[in-house]
Amino acid sequence: MPILDGIEAIRIATATYPQINLLYSLYLKTERIFEAIKAGANGYLLKDDKAVNIVDAIINVYEHNGVPMSPSIARKAMELMLGNNPSSNKDSANAGELGLTNREIEILKELSSGASYNVIGEKLFISPLTVRKHVTNLIRKNYMLAHVLK
């Protein structure tokens, strides 16, 4: 962007129009994810996501107040929230320290594998709206983590 970068634009837009929902597209860099969360983005997509995923993300945010994430970003968030090795035995301790529930960990792992809210809901026997609520909670906790790490 010629005058502002995307994160600064989100920061200004959310301060000026707090009711607005914004999606942020980025390259997979950890610090940019945290910056986008702190700026107020409602979803995080990779710049090379397929058009159908972007359309679904827009509908998700607009109609369901969802928090869409590209699978790669969900995987990166999971690694950051659970430690660099999501499959290690220290997951529970790290997750507990961050206030993650077992259900949130399950959902984050499913998101990182690329599963949609519908697929996750079917697999975990919960509704897609419940999945969305858990993702919203994860984003809030990721936001808090961003403040702690800064």
Exposed, middle or buried, 16 (CB in 10 Å: 0-12/13-18/19+)? exposed
Instruction: Report the pLDDT value the prediction gives residue 90, as an integer from 0 to 100.
Output: 43
Question: Which residue, 83, 81, 88, is CA-closest to 107?
Answer: 81
Instruction: Report the pLDDT value the prediction gives residue 27, as an integer from 0 to 100.
Output: 65
Which residues are CB-neighbours of 124 under 8 A, at least 6 positions away? 103, 106, 107, 110, 131
What domains sit in the chain, N to C, each tagged with a CATH number?
6-149 (3.40.50)
pTM, full prediction: 0.55
Model confidence pLDDT, tens digit, residues 37-76: 778 887 778 777 777 778 888 887 788 777 777 777 777 7
Residue 91 has pLDDT above 60, yes or no: no
Give CA–CA dist 42/69, Å, rounded: 9
Model confidence pLDDT, tens digit, residues 4-22: 888 888 888 888 988 887 7
Work out the pLDDT band at 143, boundaries 50, 70, 90.
Answer: low
Question: Own/partner pairs for 40-44, CB < 8 Å, 24+ apart?
Answer: 40/10, 40/11, 40/13, 40/14, 41/10, 42/66, 42/67, 43/67, 43/68, 43/69, 44/68, 44/69, 44/70, 44/73
